[in-house]
Structure 1
Amino acid sequence: MKRFIGSLLTVIIFLMTMQHVCAEPNDEPLKRLVLTLLAPKIQEQINQYYTNKFTESPTFTPFLDGTDVDVEYFSSLIEVQVKTIPYVGPHLDVGIDSIRFSIDNSGSIVVVEYKHIRDYDLPPHWQEIIKTH
């Protein structure tokens, strides 16, 4: 019983000392760095999601309006939440998507969740890229 209580106290103390830190809202250089490094992974996820919807893969612009990023730091990983508005052609928005990444201390990036939030209609002259099932 003493071992159990000792182990339990150790775990509680460990959990109490773990800290997570959120990036400050005005920390734009950090957000830009994160988006720059994650851009290929973000585009890969967009390609995967929209491949069955369009004949042309949408893209995203990490440094214009339409892409938000939140970063949380933990002792063993960094969690990044990216919300973006992919577009085709001359910035014709096709939807809103949210992607959550986990980056461990060795730099390994894992997509935790891809969530499609909303569709936007394309104008008539772009309807030909829509795949019909």
Structure 2
Amino acid sequence: MILSRLFIVIVVSAALSLSSPTRLLSEPVHNKPLSDSGELRVQDMLMNVLTPHINAAVQDYYRQFLLEPPLVYPYFVHITGSERLNGFRGFRLSITLDVTPVVGPHISVGEDRLTFEISAGPEVKLVHYTHLKSYPLPPHWQYIVKKPAR
């Protein structure tokens, strides 16, 4: 009797520990804000302004590899650095972003790092593009692959 109860406790404990929600290793890590703030609103406004430039750069890069152009949504952008290029209160700035382009129902095709120079106007100029990582597409999306990305 005691052994059968012990066995049931072990089986239930194992089942619960295996079914508990855990983050997959393949799942990208994104900082998800828990509440709104002035800083978050300014960052989101910046993403609204930069998104067309980000998508143009990403689509230009992936044009050689994919038949369908990927998109980058603002919530797949991580600001990794920024600086003023012409001193305190200068309005020529640099921003570096890590982005995750997707196709279809948010299928990640890779990771890329973009650096833009932003100045009054506003003028936005891509100054550096680095492809960091490629992800294989699932079998039912292979038809859009022209050639594998490097």
Matched, 1:101 2:116: yes
Matched, 1:41 2:53: yes
Cα distance change on mapping 1:28 and 1:43 into 2, 3 Å:
same
Q: Give the number of aligned pairs.
A: 106
**Cα displacement (A) at 1:120:** 0.3
Q: Can you give the 5+ residue segments of structure 2 that lack an aligned partner in the other structure?
A: 1-37
Pairwise mapping of residues 26-105 of structure 1 onto structure 2 (< 5 A)? 27-63=39-75, 66-69=76-79, 70-73=81-84, 74=87, 75-105=90-120
Matched, 1:123 2:138: yes
RMSD: 1.8
**Cα displacement (A) at 1:79:** 1.1
Q: Can you give the 5+ residue segments of structure 1 that lack an aligned partner in the other structure?
A: 1-25
Q: Detail structure 1 runs of 4+ shifted over 3 Å in the superposition.
A: none
- Measured in 2, the distance between the counterparts of 1:56 and 1:67 equals 20
- Measured in 2, the distance between the counterparts of 1:31 and 1:68 equals 10
> What amino acid maps onto 2:128 in structure 1?
E
- Measured in 1, the distance between the counterparts of 2:129 and 2:98 equals 10
Among 103, 112, 116, which residue is 2:127 paired with?
Answer: 112
> What amino acid maps onto 2:77 in structure 1?
T
Normalised TM-score (structure 1): 0.73
More strand by share: 1
Identity of paired residues, percent? Answer: 29
**Cα displacement (A) at 1:62:** 0.5
Normalised TM-score (structure 2): 0.65
Secondary structure at the residue paired with 1:118?
strand
Question: Residues 41-66 of structure 1: CA distance to partner in whole angstroms, max 9, x if unpaired?
Answer: 11100110000100000011103xx3
**Cα displacement (A) at 1:31:** 1.3
Are 2:115 and 2:128, in contact at CA under 8 Å, matched by a contact in 1?
A: yes
Structure with bigger gyration radius: 2
> What amino acid maps onto 2:116 in structure 1?
F
